[in-house]
C-alpha cells in the first residue's frame, strides 16, 4: 500500500481519539485507595520538611501524641487523631495528583518493548550500507537504522530517506496514522511507534534512556518536578507566616500563666490550668492559625496543572513553563494552519473585459485538472458548484497534453484540439501570453492589485486559440480564516494578551488577513531572524512571549521564547528547543495552553486567599474559648456561641482537616477561568474565596460543634 493510499484509508476510517487518560471522578475511591500507601510514605520527615507548613503540623502531631500518652483523655486523643489526619489529608492531596500521572505513565511504559534495530553501517544517500541486527538499547546518536512496514521504530530520530505512514497512537492517542518523510518539517519520528507502510531510513538523535517516551514517563509521573519560582516564593511566604504564628502562640503562654495567677478563682480546665495553656491546646491553636489549607494543597495544584496539559496531549518539560504560560503577555501565531485553514480556496472568477464569467470558469477548470495542489482542486470544485460545470477528469480527454503544476513554471494547463490553456501566477501567465505574441492589458494589473489588497491570492488564466494569445481573467484565491478565531482573540485581549500574526505573505495580504482575524499586529514576510528579533524586542519591554513552531529554522526562536510549543510532527531540533511539545501538532493549542497556565495561577491565588481568610474564623472560635474564663469580656467575640472550650478547639481542628479533603477536587480540577482583566479577577477572588474563606469556617465549625454536642460523654 502506498503512503497516500494508507493515509487516505486511515482518514476515512479514523475512529474517535482513543485515550490513555485516566477516567473517573477527581476523588475516585479507587484512586484514593491506591494513593493511600504513597500518602503514608510521605509522612517520612525527610520528605515532609520540603513543605514547611505541614512539617510543623507533623511535629505538632508527634508532640501531641506524646502528651496524650502522658496525660490521656478523650479530648487529647481526638485532637491527636485529627492532627494526624490533617497531615495525612495533605499528603493524600499530593499523592492523588501524582497517582493520576503515574497511571498515565503506566500506559506509556507498556509501549516500551525490547525492540530490535536494523542498524546500517557505511550508509550514505544513494549507498545502501551494510545491515546488522542490534538491540535498540545499544543505539547511539548518529546511528542509522532502517525500518519497514510492520516494524517498530527503535529510537527517536529524523527520517533521512524515504516516506512512510506511521502509527503514533501509543503516544498521542490518535488512531489515524501520520506521514513522516525526509527533507521537511515532518521528519521527526518517535521510538516505540510503528511504521504502517513503505520504508524509511532514520538517523537516531537520542541517547539510550533519554528517549521521548522516557521523558514523557518521567514528566507525567512527576519524578522530575521541581518547584517553580512562584511556588517557591509562596512557600517562603507561608513559612514566614508560620514562624510569625509560632511566636504569636508562644507569647500567649506567659500571658496565660500571668492571667491565671491573677485569677486564682478560675477553675482549671483541659485547655487552661495553672501552667498556662496546655500543650495539646497550644498545638491545636498553632495548627488552626497557620495556613494549613494552602500548605496542604500547594503541591497538588502544581502537579494538577501539568496533568491538565497532559490531558490535552501537551507535555510541559517543567512547571516553570506552565507558570510562564499563565503570565504570557504576547502570543506569536503562525498564520497558516493556526489562524487560517492553511489551504487557499477559490472564491471568485474575475473576467477581463470581453470575456464572459462562464468562459473563464470553463478555462480555469480545464487548466486546473492536472493541478493536484489543494488550490488547484478548489478551482475545479468552485467552477462546478458556482457555474454548473461537471467535474471533468484528465482521463476523459485522452488525446490532450496535460501540463502539471511545477514550482519552476508556476503554471498548470492543457493543450487540446489546438486550444492551449494556462493557469498560474499572474507574472508567469503574463510572460507566457507575451511569448506567444499576445498583449497584457493594464486591466489585469488593476484586478490583481485589488485582490492582493483584500488579502487574496490572484492567479491568472491565459489561452492561445487560433494563434491568438490573450489573458482571460483572474482567479481569486482566499486564505480562509478559521471559524471563531476573532472571538478567541477578543478573549485574549480581555486577558491583556497581545496577539501577533506571523506570515511569509506580503504586507498588503498580511494586513487584510490580520484585520479579518482580529489580531493586534502582524509580521509580514517573516524570516527566522525576524521572529527572533521580534521576541527579543517584546522581552526587552518586560513582556513574556509564547510561540509555536515545528521546523529546524524555528528552533532558535522557540528556545528564546518564554513558552516555546514545538509540534510533535516537527523536527527533533524544534522539540529539543521548545519547553512544551504538542502531541497533536495543533498550532491553535497555544491558546489553550495560555488558558491552562492562567487557570493554574488563579487556582493557587484563590486557594491561598481562602486559606488565609478562614484563619480569621478559627481565631474567633479558639481565642474566646481559651480566655473567656479569665476575661469575660471576650465573650463578645464568641459569635458562634460554641458549646464549650473543648468543643470549640476540637471543632476548629476537625474543620481544619476536613476542609483540606473537601478542596482536593477543586485543586485538581482548577478554579474555573473566564477571560477578564486582572482587576476583575482579583475582585472575584476576594468576593468568592476571600469572603467565602471567612464565612465557610463559621458555618462548618458551628455545625461540627452541634454534632459534638450529640455525644454527652465528650
Give me the pLDDT at residue 109, please.
63
3-state secondary structure (DSSP) of residue 105: helix
Nearest-angstrom CA–CA distance, 317 and 315: 6
Residue 78 CA, chain-centre distance (Å), reads 44
Packed helices 292-311 and 645-669: angle between N→C axes, nearest 10 degrees: 20
Cell 471567612 locates to: 694
Nearest-angstrom CA–CA distance, 354 and 475: 16
Q: Which three cell numbers stand for residue 100?
A: 493520576
Which stretches within 374-456 are classed as H helix? 374-387, 426-435, 442-453
Q: Which three cell numbers stand for residue 387?
A: 457555474
Packed helices 229-261 and 292-311: angle between N→C axes, nearest 10 degrees: 160
Q: Which three cell numbers stand for residue 557?
A: 526562536
Mean pLDDT of the region 228-254? 83
Q: At 657, is the pLDDT very low, low, confident or very high (cuts 50, 70, 90)?
A: very high
Nearest-angstrom CA–CA distance, 341 and 401: 33
Give me the pLDDT at residue 57, please.
92
- Whether 307 is a known active-site residue: answer no
Give me the pLDDT at residue 19, please.
38
> Residues 654-658: contacts with CB within 8 Å, 24+ apart?
654/82, 654/704, 655/618, 655/697, 655/700, 655/701, 655/704, 656/82, 656/86, 656/287, 656/288, 656/292, 656/293, 656/618, 657/82, 657/83, 657/85, 657/86, 657/89, 658/700
Taking CA atoms, 322 is separated from 424, 564, 590, in Å, by: 46, 11, 11
Count CB atoms within 10 A of the CB of residue 307: 22
Cell 485532637 locates to: 79
Give me the pLDDT at residue 25, please.
44
Give me the pLDDT at residue 481, please.
78
Nearest-angstrom CA–CA distance, 436 and 431: 9
Q: What spatial distance separates the first Cα and last Cα of the chain, rounded to whole Å?
A: 78
Domain spanning 118-153+156-205, CATH architecture:
Distorted Sandwich (2.70)
Mean pLDDT of the region 662-672? 86
Pairwise pLDDT comparison (279 vs 274), residue with the higher score: 279
Give the lowest-confidence range in 143-157, 464-478, 626-640.
626-640
Give the lowest-confidence range in 8-22, 167-181, 324-338, 494-508.
8-22
Give the lowest-confidence range in 163-167, 484-488, 559-563, 626-630.
626-630
3-state secondary structure (DSSP) of residue 606: helix
Domains 118-153+156-205 and 341-480 share a fold: no
Nearest-angstrom CA–CA distance, 685 and 533: 38
Phi, psi of 501 (to 5 degrees): -90, 130
Nearest-angstrom CA–CA distance, 608 and 591: 26
List beta partners, residue 350.
Answer: 474
Say whether pLDDT at 476 is over 80. Answer: yes
Q: Secondary structure of 335-376 in the HEC alphabet?
A: CECCCECCCCEEEEEEECCCCCHHHHHHHHHHHHCCCCCHHH
Nearest-angstrom CA–CA distance, 647 and 366: 90
Instruction: Kindly report, residue by residue over 446-457, the tens digit of the pLDDT.
Output: 888 888 777 678
Nearest-angstrom CA–CA distance, 102 and 97: 9
Q: Which three cell numbers stand for residue 539?
A: 522581552
Give me the pLDDT at residue 264, please.
66
Give me the pLDDT at residue 23, please.
38
**Contact present, 565 and 314 (Cβ < 8 Å):** yes
Average model confidence (pLDDT) across the chain: 79
Say whether pLDDT at 426 is over 50. Answer: yes
Give me the pLDDT at residue 517, please.
85
Q: Is 580 left (phi over 0), alpha (psi -120 to 50) or beta?
A: beta
Q: Enter the DSSP assignment of 634.
A: G
Of all helices (H) and strands (E), which one includes residue 614?
helix 589-627
Mean pLDDT of the region 591-611? 88
| Highest-confidence segment of 186-195, 319-328, 656-665 | 656-665
Query: What's the chain's Rg over C-alpha atoms?
Result: 34
Say whether pLDDT at 224 is over 60. Answer: no
Q: Which residues contact 483 (CB under 8 A, 6 or more apart)?
A: none
Q: Which residues contact 712 (CB under 8 A, 6 or more apart)?
A: none
Give the lowest-confidence range in 49-53, 113-117, 577-581.
113-117
Taking CA atoms, 452 is separated from 264, 462, 676, in Å, by: 95, 19, 36
Instruction: Kindly report, residue by residue over 184-218, the tens digit of the pLDDT.
Output: 667 888 887 888 888 889 998 887 776 666 766 66
Nearest-angstrom CA–CA distance, 17 and 257: 68
3-state secondary structure (DSSP) of residue 429: helix
Q: Which three cell numbers stand for residue 279?
A: 500543650
Taking CA atoms, 65 is separated from 46, 68, 79, 313, 420, in Å, by: 20, 5, 9, 46, 97
Say whether pLDDT at 398 is over 70. Answer: no
Pairwise pLDDT comparison (298 vs 278), residue with the higher score: 298
Say whether pLDDT at 417 is over 50. Answer: yes
**Contact present, 320 and 228 (Cβ < 8 Å):** yes
**Contact present, 381 and 365 (Cβ < 8 Å):** no
Say whether pLDDT at 583 is over 60. Answer: yes
Sign of CA pseudo-dihedral 424, 430, 431, 437 = positive
pTM exceeds 0.95, yes or no? no
Mean pLDDT of the region 237-247? 87
The percent of residues in the chain predicted with pLDDT above 70, rounded, is: 82
Q: Which residues contact 463 (CB under 8 A, 6 or more apart)?
A: 363, 419, 420, 421, 422, 469, 470, 472
Give me the pLDDT at residue 220, please.
60
Mean pLDDT of the region 22-51? 74
Q: Which three cell numbers stand for residue 590?
A: 497555544
Q: Secondary structure of 264-305 in the HEC alphabet?
A: CCCCCCCCEECCEECHHHHHHHHHHHCCHHHHHHHHHHHHHH
The annotated binding site for Mg(2+) is made up of: 550, 554
The CATH class, in words, for 314-337+482-583 is: alpha beta
Q: At 2, is the pLDDT very low, low, confident or very high (cuts 50, 70, 90)?
A: very low
Count CB atoms within 10 A of the CB of residue 23: 7
Catalytic residue among 167, 334, 479, 586: 334
What are the residue boundaries of the structural domains of the chain, listed by start? 29-99+225-308+596-709, 118-153+156-205, 314-337+482-583, 341-480
Nearest-angstrom CA–CA distance, 364 and 339: 28
**Contact present, 193 and 179 (Cβ < 8 Å):** no
Q: Which three cell numbers stand for residue 478?
A: 482566499
Mean pLDDT of the region 363-390? 81
Q: Which three cell numbers stand for residue 31?
A: 484512586
Pairwise pLDDT comparison (503 vs 676), residue with the higher score: 503
Nearest-angstrom CA–CA distance, 276 and 299: 37
Mean pLDDT of the region 536-560? 85
Give me the pLDDT at residue 82, please.
94
Give me the pLDDT at residue 691, please.
87
Mean pLDDT of the region 659-667? 89
Say whether pLDDT at 240 is over 80. Answer: yes
Instruction: Kindly report, residue by residue over 81-134, the tens digit of the pLDDT.
Output: 999 999 999 888 888 877 766 666 665 665 555 677 888 888 887 777 888 888
Taking CA atoms, 643 is separated from 68, 79, 265, 509, 628, in Å, by: 23, 17, 22, 75, 13
Domain 341-480, CATH number (from 3.40.1110.10, 3.40.630.30, 3.30.70.980, 3.40.50.1100) = 3.40.1110.10
3-state secondary structure (DSSP) of residue 110: coil
> Residues 426-429: contacts with CB within 8 Å, 24+ apart?
426/458, 426/459, 426/460, 426/474, 429/459, 429/460, 429/461, 429/462, 429/471
The percent of residues in the chain predicted with pLDDT above 90, rounded, is: 5
Nearest-angstrom CA–CA distance, 465 and 453: 32
Give the lowest-confidence range in 60-74, 141-155, 166-180.
166-180
Amino acid at each position: 500500500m502506498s503512503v497516500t493510499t494508507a493515509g487516505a484509508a486511515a482518514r476515512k476510517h479514523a475512529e474517535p481519539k482513543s485515550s490513555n487518560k485516566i477516567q473517573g471522578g477527581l476523588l475516585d475511591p479507587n484512586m484514593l485507595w491506591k494513593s493511600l500507601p504513597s500518602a503514608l510514605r510521605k509522612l517520612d520527615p525527610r520528605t515532609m520538611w520540603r513543605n514547611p507548613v505541614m512539617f510543623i503540623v507533623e511535629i505538632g502531631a508527634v508532640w501531641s501524641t506524646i502528651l496524650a500518652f502522658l496525660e490521656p483523655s478523650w479530648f487529647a486523643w481526638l485532637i491527636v487523631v485529627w492532627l494526624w489526619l490533617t497531615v495525612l489529608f495533605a499528603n493524600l492531596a499530593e499523592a492523588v495528583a501524582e497517582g493520576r500521572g503515574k497511571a498515565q505513565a503506566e500506559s506509556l511504559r507498556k509501549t516500551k518493548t525490547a525492540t530490535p534495530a536494523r542498524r546500517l553501517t557505511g550508509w550514505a544517500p544513494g549507498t545502501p550500507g551494510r545491515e546488522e541486527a542490534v538491540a535498540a538499547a545499544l543505539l547511539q546518536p548518529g546511528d542509522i537504522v532502517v525500518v519497514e512496514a510492520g516494524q517498530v521504530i527503535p529510537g527517536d530520530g529524523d527520517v533521512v530517506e524515504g516516506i512512510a505512514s506511521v502509527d503514533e497512537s501509543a503516544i498521542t492517542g490518535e488512531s489515524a496514522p501520520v506521514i513522516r518523510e525526509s527533507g521537511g518539517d515532518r521528519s521527526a519520528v518517535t521510538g516505540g511507534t510503528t511504521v504502517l507502510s513503505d520504508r524509511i531510513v532514520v538517523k537516531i538523535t537520542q541517547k539510550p534512556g533519554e528517549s521521548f517516551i522516557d521523558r514523557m514517563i518521567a514528566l507525567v509521573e512527576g519524578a522530575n518536578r521541581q518547584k517553580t519560582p512562584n511556588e517557591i516564593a509562596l512557600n517562603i511566604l507561608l513559612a514566614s507566616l508560620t514562624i510569625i504564628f509560632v511566636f504569636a502562640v508562644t507569647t500567649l503562654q506567659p500571658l496565660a500563666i500571668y492571667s491565671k495567677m491573677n485569677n486564682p478563682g478560675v477553675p482549671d480546665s483541659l485547655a487552661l490550668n495553672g501552667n498556662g495553656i496546655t500543650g495539646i491546646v497550644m498545638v491545636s491553636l498553632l495548627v488552626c492559625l497557620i495556613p494549613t489549607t494552602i500548605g496542604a494543597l500547594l503541591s497538588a495544584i502544581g502537579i494538577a496543572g501539568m496533568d491538565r496539559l497532559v490531558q490535552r496531549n501537551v507535555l510541559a518539560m517543567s512547571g516553570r513553563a506552565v507558570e510562564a504560560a499563565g503570565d504570557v503577555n504576547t502570543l506569536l501565531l503562525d498564520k497558516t494552519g493556526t489562524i487560517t485553514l492553511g489551504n487557499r480556496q477559490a472564491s471568485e472568477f474575475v473576467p477581463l473585459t470581453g470575456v464572459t464569467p462562464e468562459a473563464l470558469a470553463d478555462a480555469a477548470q480545464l487548466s486546473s485538472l492536472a493541478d493536484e495542489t489543494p488550490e488547484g482542486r478548489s478551482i475545479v470544485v468552485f467552477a462546478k458548484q458556482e457555474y454548473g460545470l461537471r467535474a471533468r477528469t484528465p482521463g476523459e480527454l485522452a488525446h490532450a497534453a496535460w501540463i502539471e503544476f511545477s514550482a519552476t513554471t508556476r503554471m498548470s494547463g492543457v493543450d487540446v484540439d489546438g486550444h492551449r490553456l494556462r493557469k498560474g501566477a499572474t507574472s508567469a501567465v503574463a510572460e507566457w501570453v507575451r511569448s506567444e505574441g499576445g498583449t497584457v492589458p493594464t486591466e489585469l494589473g488593476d484586478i490583481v492589485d485589488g485582490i492582493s489588497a483584500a488579502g487574496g491570492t490572484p492567479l491568472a488564466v491565459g489561452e492561445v486559440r487560433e494563434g491568438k494569445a490573450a489573458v482571460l481573467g483572474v482567479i481569486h484565491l482566499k486564505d480562509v480564516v478559521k471559524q471563531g478565531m476573532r472571538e478567541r482573540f477578543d478573549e485574549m485581549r480581555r486577558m491583556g494578551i497581545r496577539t501577533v500574526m506571523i506570515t511569509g505573505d506580503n504586507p498588503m495580504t498580511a494586513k487584510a488577513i490580520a484585520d479579518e482575524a482580529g489580531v493586534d499586529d502582524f509580521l509580514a514576510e517573516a524570516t527566522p531572524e525576524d521572529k527572533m528579533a521580534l521576541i527579543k524586542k517584546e522581552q526587552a519591554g518586560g513582556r513574556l512571549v509564547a510561540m509555536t513552531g515545528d521546523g529546524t529554522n524555528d528552533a532558535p526562536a522557540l528556545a528564546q521564547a518564554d513558552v516555546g510549543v514545538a509540534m510533535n510532527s516537527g523536527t527533533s531540533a524544534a522539540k529539543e528547543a521548545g519547553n512544551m511539545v504538542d502531541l497533536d501538532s495543533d498550532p491553535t493549542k497555544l491558546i489553550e495552553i495560555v488558558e491552562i497556565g492562567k487557570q493554574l495561577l488563579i487556582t493557587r491565588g484563590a486557594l491561598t486567599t481562602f486559606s488565609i481568610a478562614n484563619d480569621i474564623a478559627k481565631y474567633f472560635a479558639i481565642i474566646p474559648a481559651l480566655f473567656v474564663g479569665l476575661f469575660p469580656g471576650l465573650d463578645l467575640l464568641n459569635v458562634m456561641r460554641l458549646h464549650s472550650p473543648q468543643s470549640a478547639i476540637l471543632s476548629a481542628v476537625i474543620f481544619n482537616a476536613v476542609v483540606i479533603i473537601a478542596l482536593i477536587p477543586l485543586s485538581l480540577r482548577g478554579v474555573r477561568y473566564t477571560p477578564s482583566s486582572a482587576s476583575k479577577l482579583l475582585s472575584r477572588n476576594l468576593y468568592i474565596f476571600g469572603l467565602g474563606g471567612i464565612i465557610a469556617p463559621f458555618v462548618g465549625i458551628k455545625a461540627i460543634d452541634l454534632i459534638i454536642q450529640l455525644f454527652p460523654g465528650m
